[in-house]
């Protein structure tokens, strides 16, 4: 049995780097990748802190780029030796929702590194990973244009997610408020710049993250110092923001989003919610005619757009990487990311 | 020149109509049960007015407050005067940007109709001042 090193979640708060069985191709549409770079995502924190319950010993990770080492017989778009980035969400490509352009709501949605519930796909924080439906899930990387593999790594998750959240609701000239300056929120803010926002405001309490937002031209609003509602109202002539992105996934953030949104505006929610119910000011939202968009991101719909914008030098999400660490230090990396000591961590599986 | 000579007059007349409302047998209980903290920023003359609609008594104060506002309105003091006389269309004012409002729209909708029975009371309050100016 061939083995490999991988980041394993034994149980909540217990992340170890262990020798596990190396996954193999089982379907003609599969590709086996040798992982070159992999990142820790806010979504990994949900099983890490037990908010999403997984079975024991799951190989984590759903953000990765790698080199193709083996291709199934039905794969046409990549070959051995190609570098490629994978969508973190794997869809079937032919169910009703896939046909309606909603791969995030595919009847058979699978997500790498999230256990049985999401299709038992072994995660990308490992030396090797098997990518199903590879022609649909992977995008081949080239060296043309601006951007490097660290930028393209994020097209499989946070970049496409943040971009979609803004892209499906914005009109050029809109004001955009992003709640949460985590990697997803920062990618949303960066996308808003590219998609024609007149002003971008980012709310968080973590100073280092707000600094990243300000560095790309957004107004940072520190919720531990100022009331974000007042701040956003003041910046928008009391209208509120036309577009509000909840890039957190906590009821406090959703309530904040409801208070920030302008009449006729939209709330777009990439943040993950699992609550049975949440009290929100529904009458106010109704009377303001606010639209709400949410759900697992339709990553594959936006990978080509974000890759093109990276190549054009207009998106450069690698700037948000605060730490590059050997994968062998994953235990410490998870602790740092969970404590918000790091904004974004990229792991090197070869070390 | 505007209708009000100074901030004290804004408090006396517009603050006064809210105080009178608190005593009103029909409107008083409705205002108190609304449970809304209203802040109005009048300009020219400038007055920050707080109306705390709650049990057991409605409170009307001017100047900054430590309370949090459910609804904040901003308008010229003269606009406030016209409103309370029943001569100002608030919806049109909002559309023109003469009046600015923030806070949950459903609460604003709850509040506005409560003010109508107070228009005659306001006119009574300002009758003497009107007569003196005539
Ligand atoms: N929809 C999707 O497909 C998809 C894809 C990727 C990530 N996500 C989700 O997006 C969310 C964000 O991911 P991330 O990687 O940026 O995570 P993160 O945990 O690093 O970032 C969250 C940020 O929100 C801030 N925050 C928390 N409560 C707040 C509040 N009330 N107001 C303002 N800021 C607040 C935190 O300080 C932190 O900086 C997570 O829920 C993640 O699961 C969803
Ligand atoms: Zn993710
Ligand atoms: Zn499908």
Q: Provide the residues around ligand 3 (an ion) whose CB is within 5 A.
A: A 91-92, 95, 98, 106
- Distance CA(A300)–CA(A88), nearest Å, equals 9
- Distance CA(A60)–CA(A43), nearest Å, equals 10
- Distance CA(A331)–CA(A125), nearest Å, equals 12
For range A221-226, the mean pLDDT: 97
Q: Identify the nearest ligand to the CA of A97 by its number.
A: 3
How far is the alpha carbon of A281 from chain B, nearest alpha carbon, in Å?
A: 8
Out of A102, A182, A183, A244, mutate this one to test ligand 1's pocket (max ligand atoms within 8 Å of CB): namely A182
Partner residue facing A288 (CB), from B100, B105, B107: B105
Which residues in chain A are contacts of B102 at CB distance < 8 A? 229, 233, 238, 240
Show the CA angle centred on residue B63, arms to residues B58 and B67, nearest 5°. Answer: 55
Q: Identify the nearest ligand to the CA of A47 by its number.
A: 1
User: A-B interface: how many C-beta pairs under 8 angstroms?
Assistant: 23
**Residue B112 has what pLDDT?**
86
- Distance CA(A55)–CA(A116), nearest Å, equals 7
Beta bridge partners, B101, equal: B73
Sort strands A58-59 and A3-11 into parallel, antiparallel or unpaired.
Answer: antiparallel
Put simply, the chain A residues between 255 and 274 with a CB less than 8 A from any chain B CB are: 263
pLDDT tens per residue, range A57-97: 999 999 999 999 999 999 999 999 999 999 999 999 999 99
User: With b meaning 16 or more CB within 10 Å and e meaning fewer, what string describes B38-54?
Assistant: bbbebeebebbbbbbbe
**CA-to-CA dists, residue A167 to A163, A191, A240, A308, angstroms:** 6, 8, 19, 15
Give the domain ranges of chain B. Answer: 7-123
Interface test with B, best of A241, A284, A286 (most B CBs within 10 A): A284
How far is the alpha carbon of A283 from chain B, nearest alpha carbon, in Å?
A: 6
Using the Cβ of A235 and the Cβ atoms of chain B, whether some distance falls under 8 Å is answered with no
Distance A82 CA to ligand 2 centre (A): 23
Q: What percent of chain A has pLDDT over 70?
A: 100
Instruction: Answer yes or no: is the ipTM higher than 0.90.
Output: no
| Contact call for residues A72 and A28 (beta carbons, < 8 A) | yes
Distance A19 CA to ligand 1 centre (A): 31
Give the H/E segment covering residue B65: none
Hey, what are A127's tokens? 């030396």
Residue B38 preceded by cis peptide, ω within 30: no
- Distance CA(A332)–CA(A126), nearest Å, equals 16
| Contact call for residues A58 and A118 (beta carbons, < 8 A) | no
**pTM score, whole prediction:** 0.91
The yes or no reply on domain B7-123 and CATH 3.30.1050.10 is yes
Phi, psi of B100 (to 5 degrees): -115, 145
B111: pLDDT strictly greater than 90 = no
Put simply, the chain B residues between 31 and 90 with a CB less than 8 A from any chain A CB are: 74
Give the H/E segment covering residue A242: strand A241-246
pLDDT tens per residue, range A139-173: 999 999 999 999 999 999 999 999 999 999 999 99
Domains of chain A are 3-157+298-348 (3.90.180.10), 160-294 (3.40.50.720)
In the structure, what pLDDT confidence band is assigned to residue B95 with cuts at 50, 70 and 90? confident
How far is the alpha carbon of A216 from chain B, nearest alpha carbon, in Å?
A: 29
Q: Provide the residues around ligand 2 (an ion) whose CB is within 5 A.
A: A 41, 43, 157
């Amino acid at each position: 049995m061939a083995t490999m090193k991988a980041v394993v979640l034994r149980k909540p708060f217990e992340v170890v780097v262990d020798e596990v069985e190396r996954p193999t191709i089982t379907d003609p549409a599969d590709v086996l990748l040798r992982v070159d770079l992999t990142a820790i995502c806010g979504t990994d924190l949900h099983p890490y802190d037990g908010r999403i319950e997984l079975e024991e010993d799951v190989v984590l990770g759903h953000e990765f780029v790698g080199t193709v080492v083996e291709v199934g017989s039905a794969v046409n778009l990549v070959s051995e030796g190609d570098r490629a980035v994978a969508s973190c969400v794997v869809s079937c490509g032919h169910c009703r929702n896939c046909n309606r352009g909603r791969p995030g709501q595919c009847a058979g949605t699978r997500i790498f590194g999230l256990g049985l519930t999401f299709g038992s796909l072994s995660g990308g924080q490992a030396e090797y990973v098997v990518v199903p439906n590879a022609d649909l899930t992977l995008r081949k990387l080239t060296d043309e244009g601006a951007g490097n593999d660290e930028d393209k790594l994020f097209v499989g998750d946070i970049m496409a997610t943040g971009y979609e959240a803004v892209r499906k609701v914005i009109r050029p000239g809109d004001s955009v408020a992003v709640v949460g300056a985590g990697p997803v929120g920062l990618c949303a803010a960066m996308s808003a710049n590219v998609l024609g926002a007149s002003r971008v405001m980012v709310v968080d309490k973590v100073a280092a993250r707000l600094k990243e937002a300000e560095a790309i031209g957004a107004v940072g609003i520190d919720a531990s110092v100022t009331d974000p509602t007042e701040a956003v109202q003041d910046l928008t002539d009391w209208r509120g923001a036309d577009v509000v992105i909840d890039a957190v996934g906590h009821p406090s953030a959703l309530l904040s989003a409801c208070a920030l949104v302008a009449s006729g505006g939209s709330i777009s929610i990439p943040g993950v919610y699992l609550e049975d119910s949440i009290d929100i000011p529904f009458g106010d939202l109704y009377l303001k005619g606010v639209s709400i968009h949410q759900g697992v991101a339709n990553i594959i719909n936006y990978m080509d757009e974000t890759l093109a914008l990276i190549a054009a030098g207009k998106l450069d999400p690698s700037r948000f990487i605060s730490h590059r660490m050997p994968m062998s230090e994953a235990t410490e990396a998870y602790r740092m990311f969970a404590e918000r000591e790091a904004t974004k961590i990229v792991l090197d599986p070869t070390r | 020149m505007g209708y009000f000579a100074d901030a004290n007059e804004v408090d006396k007349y517009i603050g006064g109509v809210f105080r009178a409302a608190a005593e009103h047998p029909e409107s008083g209980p409705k205002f108190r049960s609304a449970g809304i903290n209203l802040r109005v920023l009048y300009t020219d003359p400038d007055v920050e007015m707080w109306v705390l609609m709650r049990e057991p008594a409605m409170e009307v104060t001017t100047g900054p407050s430590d309370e949090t506002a459910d609804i904040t309105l901003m308008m010229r003091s003269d606009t406030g005067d016209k409103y309370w006389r029943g001569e100002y269309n608030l919806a049109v004012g909002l559309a023109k940007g003469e009046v600015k409002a923030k806070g949950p729209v459903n609460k604003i909708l709850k509040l506005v109709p409560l003010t109508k029975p107070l228009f005659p009371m306001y006119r009574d309050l300002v009758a003497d001042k009107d007569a003196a100016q005539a």
